[in-house]
Structure 1
């Protein structure tokens, strides 16, 4: 009897005596889960070139911070006494007539001085990448839309939202658009977006949500303008503005976090006197060595900095000497470092999502998780304040809070999309799990394109998808006591297709899944019981 697994061609080709091997596939095509945590960062970088090739406006995949450094950071000379600064924000101390309303000030000789940045020098992407890897980040895409521009030489006005005129809406829109050709990224992040004017920021967010809803492969993670230095009473105005500016399209593909986080990403040595007054040491001297309260030690160091044609020490060594000579200088640098370390949370969230996906699965909520590298918050939210963020009666747009809990630390305390009024898509892990299943099945089904639209193909396809969903169910990604309770897969004539569908070459597959939802509200009931004898 001829083995049915041996093709006639194989049998007819036996012309030489010997042993023949015929490999027969024992397993059908399988569905392989797609990657779920691959963020794409769009923004401005110190540079964008490697080995003479430009990487400007080119989506480039990296696997580590070392990869990012090699392409997007300024080259370091190993023989140089001090490292090149990759990020060089400029700050000014501007005397105020009265006590400033916020906390970004200090008192010198009984006078109030506000710390005001040069807006042209503020960027967030570089430190957001560092925060991403601090929180467990892995593979990522970078789209550099430009390098840093020159400082303006002027401080921002007090109590004014930082707007960097060098951060352009068209640059970021173009960077986001370039991702249409990339199927792997699952998160879009623009850390520099909060440096746009409010209206431009709204246009960018709407474009990101529209692209996500069209591609159905990624979500957008948003930061909120005003989250860097929120007003403790009027901060809801910033929340209302954000909700208005996100529009109404693709809300289930967006998620937002508030407020910014105070971090330890930038370390001592990354900020020194060169970050003050545009590097004008004379303006700093007026504060450290005033005529009515001279400081000879500080004056000596400042004189060495300003007069030496070839400085004998590095900038960091001079800065250390100034810190020793002047407690005022040490306090100034500490305050500037704290301000520079207040970062939008999106980079950290991308890292947290990467870690949670790797340890528990995409269906696990990236919440009740600490933010590594975060040490403070510009606003400490209470339960009642978060209630206004979590649910909005009008728009339904939920904002995920980042909160500080006594004895625990700083935690991400929310896992919602912007589509809070939808019972289907209000939770971030639900949206991301469905996206993963959709894209995984879509990729596997390409193997069946142009296959005969017959019962054998339908059975093979439903079996492959069924095996994949069974694996997801066993890992805890689907609800149900049994696999049949967790999902169903159907494909066939009379169930998902009609005779006309077959004539038109349509093969329809219907998948129903019971997604796990996070236990967001856990109720503990305590009841007193009367004491009983014995």
Structure 2
């Protein structure tokens, strides 16, 4: 209603000349679920509290450092040895976060489910008992990716069930994020039988909300854990190491490669490995100098802890590609940082079943290429048979647009459902989509080819909708899709006069 003027004078009215702007939401904001050394900001507990960090140093302040991953060593045949990781100590979140930052990661959320003394339970991830995990993330609208590196510590049946819940969380509960899933046992080669790791993965994830997930195979040999981070305290049974080192020098004496006095001195040093008051740093450096076998044991431990699942690296790649090229760019044909090689060397022939399976559950390959390094060689969601949601960048781009438009439209809640409001809504959304088109997120030679916005009685709404207080808006967008298959056709042609050496401009 217009203002009623009752006192003579001059009145100033301001009228908005521009439509309301829409602030784009974050595109690459992963949320990591797992176990940490601690979880506190001062005296305030951060257990099961989604906490945003921007760097690894900030993580250290709030959640502590790396776990002490231990291995059990045992004598093998022919004087060798075997190493087996102690699963109770093999927490994966910390090193996965390092891999995320090594591949271009930025800000992210951490949800600590417990400390390194905790027993890993699927209920911790779902939050059924603690109201943490996935339940806590329901209250955070900003994360756009979901990762749970420590879920690999569960039994395979529990792991598969949890991955289905991750997809439901993304596709049903939030509809604003994608899940980066892992292949259980993805460091192993394919066998193409009932025990095949890819076949078991596909059977385990079900059929619901596949377009909200993506996965990558195989696992990676990385350089995240450095040599100076390991010593003999990474062994759960140092007495086993003493036995193996002692047997090694005894064999060297019998072979005439080592005299008995040196052997006795070395064995005396070996015995210090089981002492509670041993100077770890000095003893470690001494053993490196006198025992090649000790150096080899640590090298094998380092190789073991550096075998990592790829989801965290891919979260970093998503972040890096979004910053450099935009969310419309498929996160593929990109090299991985801090990665030496994949654990399984996939050929083009082997990739066929990964990329184009009959059930559509595509698994993206990670492959080495001479002169290029280790590349991400796939850009599909798990819904590979869908024309709408086949590609990761299409799924993520539409989620970005949906959440941005949703936030922008919230200011019109409770406004009159009239043509004046419809015009304002249309203008607000169209301005946002125009920015997306000019930045390359939408494709088309013109705005009419790139998007359309419709709202109004008779076009998107009925009279009943208006009576029920419903404003229906239809937005159509054209999203760029990757050139996944480039086909170049060659054929021969007859040599012309010029090619045969004819003179230019010759007489007829």
Fold in common (TM above 0.5)? yes
**Pairing of 1:282-431 with structure 2 (within 5 A):** 282-290=239-247, 291-293=250-252, 296=263, 298-306=266-274, 310-311=277-278, 313=279, 315-393=280-358, 395-431=359-395
1:416–1:61 Cα change, 3 Å: same
**Superimposed CA distance per residue, residues 326-379 of structure 1 (whole angstroms, 9 cap, x where no aligned partner):** 111111111110110111111111111011111111111111111111112210
Deviation at 1:23, TM superposition (A): 4.8
Q: Name the CA distance, whole Å, in 2 between partners of 1:316 and 1:251.
A: 50
Q: Name the CA distance, whole Å, in 1 between partners of 2:8 and 2:27.
A: 49
Secondary structure in structure 1 of the residue aligned to 2:196: helix
CA contact (8 A) 1:258 1:402 kept: yes
Secondary structure in structure 1 of the residue aligned to 2:224: coil
Give every structure 1 segment of 4 or more consecutive aligned residues whose post-TM-superposition deviation is greater than 6 Å: 11-15, 232-236
Structure 1: which 5+ runs fail to align? 75-85, 98-109, 151-165
CA contact (8 A) 2:190 2:196 kept: no
Structure 2 partner of 1:160: none
Deviation at 1:114, TM superposition (A): 2.2
CA contact (8 A) 1:226 1:235 kept: no
**Pairing of 1:85-104 with structure 2 (within 5 A):** 86-97=66-77
Total equivalences in the alignment: 481
**Pairing of 1:52-201 with structure 2 (within 5 A):** 52-73=43-64, 86-97=66-77, 110-149=78-117, 166-174=119-127, 175-201=133-159
CA contact (8 A) 2:222 2:341 kept: yes
Secondary structure in structure 1 of the residue aligned to 2:251: coil
**Superimposed CA distance per residue, residues 125-152 of structure 1 (whole angstroms, 9 cap, x where no aligned partner):** 11001111111111111111111138xx
**Superimposed CA distance per residue, residues 478-518 of structure 1 (whole angstroms, 9 cap, x where no aligned partner):** 12111101111011111111122222121111011111111
Structure 2 partner of 1:269: 228
Deviation at 1:530, TM superposition (A): 3.6
Q: Name the CA distance, whole Å, in 2 between partners of 1:285 and 1:529.
A: 75
Pick which of 51-60 and 337-346 moved more. Answer: 51-60
1:33–1:441 Cα change, 3 Å: same
CA contact (8 A) 2:182 2:311 kept: yes
**Superimposed CA distance per residue, residues 287-335 of structure 1 (whole angstroms, 9 cap, x where no aligned partner):** 223233356364353345555x754x4x233222211111111111111
Structure 1 partner of 2:414: 450
Deviation at 1:189, TM superposition (A): 0.4
**Pairing of 1:229-240 with structure 2 (within 5 A):** 229-230=188-189, 237-240=196-199
Q: Name the CA distance, whole Å, in 2 between partners of 1:230 and 1:183.
A: 38
Pick which of 296-305 and 484-493 moved more. Answer: 296-305
1:245–1:233 Cα change, 3 Å: closer
Secondary structure in structure 2 of the residue aligned to 1:146: coil
Deviation at 1:467, TM superposition (A): 1.2
**Superimposed CA distance per residue, residues 207-252 of structure 1 (whole angstroms, 9 cap, x where no aligned partner):** 1111111211110001111112435776971101110110111110
Secondary structure in structure 2 of the residue aligned to 1:369: coil
Structure 1 partner of 2:37: 46
Q: Name the CA distance, whole Å, in 1 between partners of 2:84 and 2:149.
A: 20
CA RMSD of aligned residues (A): 2.3
CA contact (8 A) 2:74 2:240 kept: no
1:387–1:231 Cα change, 3 Å: closer
CA contact (8 A) 1:273 1:279 kept: no
Structure 2: which 5+ runs fail to align? 128-132, 254-261, 502-508
1:187–1:499 Cα change, 3 Å: same
Structure 1 partner of 2:505: none
CA contact (8 A) 1:396 1:421 kept: yes
